[in-house]
Amino acid sequence: MTTPNLQITENASRQIALLQEKEGKSGIMLRVTVLGGGCSGFQYAFDFDDTVNADDFTFENNGATVVADATSMEFLQGAIIDYEQTMVKSAFKIKNPNATAACGCGKSFGV
């Protein structure tokens, strides 16, 4: 794999900071994992974690940290983590240049 590259937008950084504050845990990171399944073949999972494993890569922007394991990074290379708010919902979103298909929920994709 080339040098791991994952970008975090300002909106995502702000939301991670807000959630850290709400949880009262300044050291927690947003963990992004790619799992098999979903309506397009793969799906994103978002969790908060305070542990960095041996096979993890970390990415930072303005004090916010996103962590992803090596297997997930094969699918996330060059992706952008964003946070979008609409009148209907708000959620972390991934703009993934590796995805060739996606479903309407925004959490499922194909390569």
Residue 4 CA to residue 67 CA, distance in Å, equals 11
- Quick: pLDDT tens for 74-111: 999 999 999 998 888 888 999 988 877 566 555 555 56
Task: Classify domain 6-98 at the CATH class level.
Answer: mainly beta
CA neighbor of 52 nearest in space, from 35, 79, 30: 30
Every domain of the chain and the residues it spans: 6-98
pLDDT at 100: 72
- Quick: pLDDT tens for 33-61: 998 876 667 888 999 999 999 999 999 99
Residue 71 confidence (pLDDT) above 70: yes
